[in-house]
Amino acid sequence: MKPVWITISTFFALLILVSCSSVNQGSAIESSKVKQQQFHDREYVRPLAESESKDSSDSILTTKKLRSLSALSETDSIQPTGQLREFKLEAKISKWELVSGVKADAYTFNATVPGPIIRAKEGDTIRVILKNSLPEETSIHWHGLHVPNKMDGVPSFTQHAIKPGETFAYEFVANHAGTYMYHSHFNSIQQIDKGLYGLLIIDPQNEKLKHDREYTFMFGGWNVAKEAGGQGKEEMPNMSDDDMAGMSKGQNMPFKKKGNIKTMMDKGLQTKSSPNHPHAQMEMPSKPTDDKTGSTVMGMDYNYWTINGKSFPDTQPIEVKNGELVRFRLANISNGVHPMHLHGHDFRVIAKDGHPLTNPQIMNTVTVNPGETYDIDFIADNPGEWVFHCHELHHTTNADVEPGGLMALVKYLK
């Protein structure tokens, strides 16, 4: 009988252990769910500081002292370098050639479109001294960067607009590696469209994967009069060249003509045609107008799209050597959507908007939306002459003539 009692006691002991294990597993699962919920709610509880009493009446949870998203990133370990990087910019009007024979009166930083690349290393202090030589006010916004509020460059909110003839100094610490943009934030629709933008690159203190070559691409859009491009010289005295960016198809549009009111039909309301017409009884129901999109003007795209201020075939060739690791930094300052496609190669998307991707994607086309930046790497392992272009095919034309626009050639050097 003694072995039987041992067996029974062993059975109950195992039963107790299994029950405890189930409770522990249940607690672990519940704890995991709580953490996931906190992550989705973006509520990150900070740890107690050494100076805080653990038995304080205000617990961590009740005080709701939460950490910011940026505090969870690797930027916590970035130490100031003590290095000051100073740049001088002058905003002024310059004649800019988009492609051979097509010029525009551009708003520029230092007479170029885009403006000079501002480059620093994580931890450096960046100082930008801007002189405004434009006939109107302006400012600079540091797109995607975390800067002190008074350095954000938004007139009427974080600073006074910089008046013509005035100078303003921006200063901040480069606290996160990545690809960013800078651009005007005063009368932005006009000033950005005219070229008042540039690229800002912050290099990491410790680069893990070094590339052999690097190319930068800023995508822009321009509306250029036909006369500027030599695409027709007909005189049209009754036409207005006023900005019609607010007019979508079929909607009313007020014209700036004294004593001359023009109305455009909003919806078709006629339900029957002329009685003498063979289709007199045809039903013609009202049809709502299309919603306007951010990438169109009067229902049409810009007539010139540019990479670094130039339209193909005047875009810079991309020169590589077989076996090299090549990095592209893409930045879309335009209001169009650009699916950028590389022929003959795959690339790895390694960062978006200055943030490294934990699981880099292998692709041959990446869609760059307005205001976005991407870093992509590819290995030059397929010699020849290839194209890198936008797959919104209208964006690869100059005034509707192909090829043009957002296209560049990849050329292998021997």
Q: What is the mean pLDDT of residues 43-65?
A: 35
Query: Would 5 be classed as within a structural domain?
Result: no
Q: Are both 204 and 308 inside the same structural domain?
A: no
Higher pLDDT, 82 or 107: 107
Spatial distance between the Cα atoms of 24 and 235, rounded to a whole number of angstroms: 84
**205, 207, 213, 214: CA torsion to nearest 10:** -60
Spatial distance between the Cα atoms of 73 and 85, rounded to a whole number of angstroms: 24
Lowest mean pLDDT among 24-38, 50-64, 91-105, 364-378: 50-64
Which pLDDT band holds residue 157 (cuts at 50, 70, 90)? very high
Q: What is the mean pLDDT of residues 384-394?
A: 97
Q: For residue 350, which amino acid is it?
A: I
Beta bridge partners of 163: none
Pairing of strands 325-332, 213-222: parallel
> How far apart, in Å, are the Cα atoms of 198 and each of 26, 127, 140, 152?
54, 15, 10, 15
Can you give the pLDDT at residue 225? 80
DSSP code per residue over 137-199: -B--EEET----GGGS--BTTTB--B-TT-EEEEEEE--S-EEEEEE--SSHHHHHHTT-EEE
Among 115, 139, 81, smallest CA distance to 201 is for 115
Query: Would 355 be classed as within a structural domain?
Result: yes
Count of domains in the chain? 2
Q: Are both 85 and 194 inside the same structural domain?
A: yes
Can you give the pLDDT at residue 229? 44
pLDDT(44) > 80: no
Reported as type and span, the H/E element at residue 125 is: strand 125-132
CATH number where 149 lies = 2.60.40.420
Q: Which domain holds residue 341?
A: 304-413
Query: Would 59 be classed as within a structural domain?
Result: no
pLDDT(158) > 60: yes
Query: Would 249 be classed as within a structural domain?
Result: no
Query: Would 84 be classed as within a structural domain?
Result: yes
Can you give the pLDDT at residue 212? 97
Query: 377 exposed, middle or buried (CB, 10 Å; 0-12, 13-18, 19+)?
Result: middle
pLDDT(341) > 80: yes
Q: Are both 203 and 310 inside the same structural domain?
A: no
Pairing of strands 407-413, 385-390: antiparallel
Q: Are 172 and 147 in contact (CB under 8 A)?
A: yes
Among 316, 364, 368, 317, smallest CA distance to 343 is for 364
Residue 94: helix, strand or coil by DSSP? strand
Query: Would 237 be classed as within a structural domain?
Result: no
Can you give the pLDDT at residue 396? 97
Residue 332: helix, strand or coil by DSSP? strand
pLDDT in tens, 394-403: 999 999 999 9
Q: What is the mean pLDDT of residues 31-39?
A: 37
pLDDT(231) > 80: no
Number of Cβ atoms within 10 Å of the Cβ of 66: 14
- Alpha-helical segments (H) within 204-251: 226-229
**Last residue within a domain, chosen from 176, 192, 208:** 208
Number of Cβ atoms within 10 Å of the Cβ of 73: 14
**Last residue within a domain, chosen from 208, 242, 273:** 208
Query: Would 221 be classed as within a structural domain?
Result: no
Can you give the pLDDT at residue 210? 87
**Last residue within a domain, chosen from 208, 228, 260:** 208
Can you give the pLDDT at residue 58? 36
Q: What is the mean pLDDT of residues 85-97?
A: 98
Tell me the pLDDT of the chain averaged across its residues: 77
Query: Would 55 be classed as within a structural domain?
Result: no
